[in-house]
Structure 1
Amino acid sequence: MNNELKNAENHLSKSAFENLKIWFFDERYKEFHTEIEKLIIDEKWEELEESFFKVLEFGTAGRRGKVGVGPNRINLITISESAQALADYLKLKKEHNLSVAIGWDVRNSSKKLSRRCAEVLAANQIKVFYFDYPRSTPELSFAVRELKASAGIVISASHNPPQDNGIKVYWNDGAQVSSPNDENIMKIAQNIKDIKIGNFEELKQSGKIQILGKEIDEKYINTNTKLSVGKNRNAKIVFSPIHGTGSTNLLQTLKSAGFKDIVLVDEQMNFDGDFSTLPDKKPNPENLSANKMAIKKLRQVCANIALTTDPDADRICVMSLEKNGEVRSFSGNQTAILAADYLFSKIHDKINKYENLYFKDRRFICKSFVTTDALNALAKKYGIRIYDDLMVGFKFIGKKILQKESEGEIFVAGFEESLGGLVGDQTRDKDAATIGLIISELASDLQKNNKTLGEKLDEIYSEIGFFTEKTESVEFSGSDGFNKMQEIMQKVKSGEETFGATKIKDFDNLTEINVATGEKSRFNMLEGGNAVSFEFMKPENRITIRPSGTEPKIKIYAQWLFAKKEDCAKIEEIITDFKRRILDEC
């Protein structure tokens, strides 16, 4: 094998080869030795490079990537290291009765990986509350709060392809772990030497692992149902979980709330980690390909709306059958506008009828800084506070909720442009169930008045202005791609290229530059992050770029405020030109 290793050294980067040697010779990784040896003998250099060139990082709240061998892959070792790191960090706090709730989604490796997390935590004398059946991510967040757990874990890769999986960590408030806790856990994970692993069945018998039953499910659904703000239930709704856990949260919430006319996409109701009905195997409801069966059913049964959810059911796509027979699919920003306007109008009516001004002035919503500024316009219209000083990642919304509730403010809803939203404070992560409930009630009210969601959205735009958004991604792969991503971000931050902007914001150092004068000023965020925003003449016209925290890609977010509806199509040209210039000039 020495000759093969020398050959590997000649084909791999220094970091990849050093990590490969550790995994090949260290007894901790013996279960992978045969697989590594085969990859070397078969000269799978590209796969080896991608698997070993770095340690899989914590992204927006955990680790996510391809399942496979190596430190840059999701496997029993990297998951065990993450669980052990969480255990070690929790024990540093020297609190009594430490506990962790664990949930998992429908992916083929999720049950195995979640059981390993339970085995590690329980072996470290930490009580484990374990869902023995796939559940949605928001229900895990709810369980952490309901059970007063010290932390939570979800095994899921959200809307990624079948070959991916991941681990997401939650703190005791039910929100995704954030700074400094996420950084501290990652530091510990990078230096793990010993991992304690017990036997799942033995730990269950001893009571160190407790299986969660239907009681938590029922409490979660009942809490969601109480968020109802409308009375009508006449909308006809098509629903598909796209083989994921949406059948356990959104569907049950709608049924509990009294919706009767729900048409299921039967072919996609089963749990299936291969997402077999999707030709491209990408269960992302942001993509048309993931929603084709729901759209077909929407037309077949002449329903009012269709709702689809991603595998862990925190994101939701809303579609509407319009009067001209066309199906209108709403972006995350547009769904947020519809949900927010409906919520705000109901709150406004309630305040005017029943509540005093104390409550009126203390309600607030949150949004990430790349989410539509139409929400700012709506918040101003209805007198709702809005906090938009938040980086991408719902953990920042969770952190802001905790901060503002401690100051006596009342959380209404939070939104992200990527189909993510939350109504109410019962969970602290995106929840397709709560957004789906509000949209279904809105659709019912509109149906009673012979209106569609599309018509309602156009009415809102006519009043506040035509906010138009478009998001695109530039994908990279392997160590070369990783380096290219860093190179692009560094060059953009250097200020060498302004792209015709009038102001440039660097969210790492929270500095804004006036391009014309060169004057620098500070701006406030809850936390900074790796992103740059280019403003064109006014704050509502901007383009932002940032590297994804969960995938090897740079995301480009464009927002423009147009005076006329017919001008909105210009956003396509704006973002296409910017994307081309980023690749050509950086």
Structure 2
Amino acid sequence: MTSDLFAAVQQWLAHDPDPHAAAELAACSTEDLAERFAATLTFGTAGLRGPMRAGPNGMNLAVVLRATWALGTVLTRHGRGGEQVIVGYDARHHSAEFARGAAEVLAAQGFPVTLMFAPVPTPVVAFTVRHTGAAAGVQITASHNPASDNGYKVYAAGGLQIVSPVDTEIEAAIAVAPPADEIPRGEVTTSGTEFVTRYLERASSVRRASGSVRVALTPMHGVGGDYALDALALAGLSDVAVVEAQFAPDPDFPTVTFPNPEEPGATDRLLSLAADIDADIAIALDPDADRCAIGVPTASGWRMLSGDETGWLLGDYLLCDADAGSAVVASTVVSSRMLARIAAGYGAHHVETLTGFKWLARADEGLDATLLYAYEEAIGHCVDPAAVRDKDGISAAVLACDMVAALRARGLSVTDALDELARRHGVHTTTAITRRIESPSAAAELMADLRSRPPQRLASYPVETIDLAPRTDALVCTGGDAATSVRVVIRPSGTEPKLKCYLEVRCDGDLEAARTRAAQLQATLAEQVRELTQRGPN
């Protein structure tokens, strides 16, 4: 161990309020210590997220205390000192401890703090910030990350995820924050149930059809189970069976490798339950219940819908009963273009944003129209922006059940509705290809090579490549003709050492013939993209 590394470790331990940190660091190898102290955990998507471990490059109480001191400092600098702040947490290891520490720091800085009385879904905090007019909110959660991780998510006024320059201001303030044990902490009391009650009443109110729906539900070992049952019951949907082995919050997520409904095998128990009870719909929430995946029965058995398919269905369902001329629907650059066609069919505004709900939630800024619905392909849906300006798995689940009831009243199934959309707007198929990259620098080299030598043809069509830099590190390749289009978006992951490629094919015409051709084109496109991303730099 170098003298500099030894000094950094000793300095950290001198101020870490966690009495177990010394033993944890003493058991680390030199290589592990070097990684933990090589950098500090940085702000990513609206906050911090990383493995729970001692040291500046991990999620721990010391990091939370310093980040919260920085947040309070920035709020005060922006003239929001002394205003209310909402603090919530999920059921992961240390979430309650981190939340109380954050609340105590804010209280000592003079902010009236509402600390949630129990673990709550992330959208409850987003709703409460908006409902109360609070200056900010903090939710301790790592969403669908592995059990070893935790995170610190920050909401600005209105319950919107923070964006630049606020995130960079907080990060700069963290760099000059006092040592963790020197940061003052004040007394806090926990809230009552009133904010949760208001949230559940609002989430249930997105229902507008009638009739019963049989539901199979899993909260994936997270906090959404009881809250979802309550919201569904308030909406008149009480015929719900749950995956018992995954219902109670469990921070170890024992029945899944990754607690993400999109992961292969994660929803096997849910779909089995749905088949056993002859359900009308299967619903999987991620652990903090801000994302919602839908499963449906088909002629060949149960299957999970993609996030794009759910986005088409919910977007169309909301637009069909709205004042479309004053409505905005939004999707991200890596999501399907089908929603744009659906919106055009109704005469509504469609906005394409950069990835992430921090942009989707602001899609109607500067427009003489109001956001009605937003989604991202990673099963995130905002179905009631007036209440929650973020993705909300529970209100999305209520609306999805409502849609099923409305379709059944017309004698239609969910697959029938997808067929209807394909006939009106063309068959759209989507898939994603991921290449693991050794390091961020290797990803940057590959992106630079793709920029210098973009593809000229994909799936037999000439393509145009648009570079989204400097707004974001992504390339968009598009081509096709009046009846067919191909589209590929290539970007490095913001959280993992991966290069992600999002593929979409659209084919118009006879439904079955269009599906056959789209499947063929997608297979060709996928092979070409794999070859494209495997080549080395010049």
Q: Would you call these one fold, judging by a TM-score over 0.5? A: yes
Paired AA for residue 266 in structure 2: A
**Residue 581 of structure 1 pairs with residue 532 of structure 2:** yes
* Bigger shift: residues 418-427 or 89-98: 89-98
* Structure 1 residue 198, shift from structure 2 partner: 4.7
Report the equivalent of 2:204. 225
CA distance in structure 2 between the partners assigned to 1:450 and 1:471 by the alignment: 33
Q: CA RMSD in A?
A: 2.2
Runs of 4 or more, structure 1, over 6 Å off, are: none
CA distance in structure 2 between the partners assigned to 1:381 and 1:180 by the alignment: 37
Superposition pairs for residues 25-174 of structure 1, below 5 Å? Answer: 25-26=11-12, 27-29=14-16, 32-40=21-29, 43=30, 45=31, 47-174=32-159
Superposition pairs for residues 519-530 of structure 1, below 5 Å? Answer: 528-530=471-473
Q: Structure 1 residues 416 and 125 mapped into 2: Cα distance closer, same or farther (>3 Å)?
A: same
**Residue 333 of structure 1 pairs with residue 335 of structure 2:** no
Superposition pairs for residues 458-469 of structure 1, below 5 Å? Answer: 458-469=419-430
Q: Secondary structure at the match of 1:569?
A: helix
* Structure 1 residue 257, shift from structure 2 partner: 0.6
CA distance in structure 2 between the partners assigned to 1:157 and 1:317 by the alignment: 18
Are the equivalent residues in 2 in contact too, given 1:100–1:151 (CA < 8 A)? yes
CA distance in structure 1 between the partners assigned to 2:226 and 2:184 by the alignment: 30
Are the equivalent residues in 1 in contact too, given 2:17–2:62 (CA < 8 A)? no
* Structure 1 residue 24, shift from structure 2 partner: 2.9
Deviations 1:376-399 (A, max 9, x none): 1100111111111x1101011222
Are the equivalent residues in 2 in contact too, given 1:157–1:167 (CA < 8 A)? yes
CA distance in structure 1 between the partners assigned to 2:105 and 2:450 by the alignment: 43
Report how many aligned residue pairs link the two structures: 520
Q: Tell me, which stretches of 5 or more residues in structure 1 are unaligned? A: 10-17, 348-358, 510-527
Paired AA for residue 202 in structure 2: T
Greater fraction helix: 1
Q: Structure 1 residues 194 and 72 mapped into 2: Cα distance closer, same or farther (>3 Å)?
A: closer
Are the equivalent residues in 2 in contact too, given 1:67–1:164 (CA < 8 A)? yes
Report the equivalent of 1:212. 191
* Structure 1 residue 157, shift from structure 2 partner: 0.9
Q: Which TM-score applies when normalising by structure 2? A: 0.91
Report the equivalent of 2:490. 545
Report the equivalent of 2:504. 559
Superposition pairs for residues 379-418 of structure 1, below 5 Å? Answer: 379-388=343-352, 390-401=353-364, 403-404=365-366, 408-418=368-378
Q: Tell me, which stretches of 5 or more residues in structure 2 are unaligned? A: 509-513
* Structure 1 residue 81, shift from structure 2 partner: 2.1
Deviations 1:330-365 (A, max 9, x none): 000000011111112222xxxxxxxxxxx5421111
CA distance in structure 2 between the partners assigned to 1:573 and 1:221 by the alignment: 46
Report the equivalent of 2:511. none
CA distance in structure 2 between the partners assigned to 1:177 and 1:435 by the alignment: 22
Report the equivalent of 1:24. 10
Are the equivalent residues in 1 in contact too, given 2:103–2:113 (CA < 8 A)? yes
* Structure 1 residue 467, shift from structure 2 partner: 1.2
Report the equivalent of 1:367. 331
CA distance in structure 2 between the partners assigned to 1:561 and 1:273 by the alignment: 41
Are the equivalent residues in 2 in contact too, given 1:170–1:177 (CA < 8 A)? yes
Report the equivalent of 1:377. 341
Are the equivalent residues in 2 in contact too, given 1:373–1:540 (CA < 8 A)? no
**Residue 492 of structure 1 pairs with residue 442 of structure 2:** no
CA distance in structure 2 between the partners assigned to 1:363 and 1:125 by the alignment: 40
* Structure 1 residue 78, shift from structure 2 partner: 1.9
Are the equivalent residues in 1 in contact too, given 2:160–2:361 (CA < 8 A)? yes
Q: Which TM-score applies when normalising by structure 1? A: 0.84
Q: Secondary structure at the match of 2:313?
A: helix
CA distance in structure 2 between the partners assigned to 1:579 and 1:154 by the alignment: 38
Paired AA for residue 475 in structure 2: V
Are the equivalent residues in 2 in contact too, given 1:24–1:30 (CA < 8 A)? no
Q: Structure 1 residues 562 and 24 mapped into 2: Cα distance closer, same or farther (>3 Å)?
A: farther
Deviations 1:210-266 (A, max 9, x none): 422211111111112222232x23221111111112224433221111012111112
